[in-house]
Amino acid sequence: MAQATDDLNANPTQAQQILEEVRELRQKVEQANQKNNEFNQKFDNHQKTTQWVVQLAFSLIAAATVTVIVLTVLGR
């Protein structure tokens, strides 16, 4: 570690370049995290919507089944 510190002190331009690269990488990681959070939100919305559609479909099937049974029993 002392060797690396001595090297950076000997070459401040290189140290500045490394700092700039670290800052750029940090910014890219933050952007990736933000995009990941947006994706997770969209995925959650899609999952909830899909679940709602499935529940609606089963409700409609159940209602149609009950209707057919009631009409058959009543003989109409």
pLDDT value of residue 9: 67
Q: Concatenated DSSP letters for 9-71?
A: HH-HHHHHHHHHHHHHHHHHHHHHHHHHHHHHHHHHHHHHHHHHHHHHHHHHHHHHHHHHHHH
| pTM of this prediction exceeds 0.85 | no
Decide: 8 and 14 in contact? Cβ < 8 Å: yes
| Sequence-separated (6 or more) residues with CB below 8 Å from residue 23 | none
Q: Tell me, what's the pLDDT at 3?
A: 61
What's the pLDDT tens digit per position in 28-46? 999 999 999 999 999 999 9
Q: Where are the domains of the chain?
A: 2-74
Confidence (pLDDT) at 21:
96
Task: Quick: pLDDT tens for 9-33.
Answer: 668 889 899 999 999 999 999 999 9
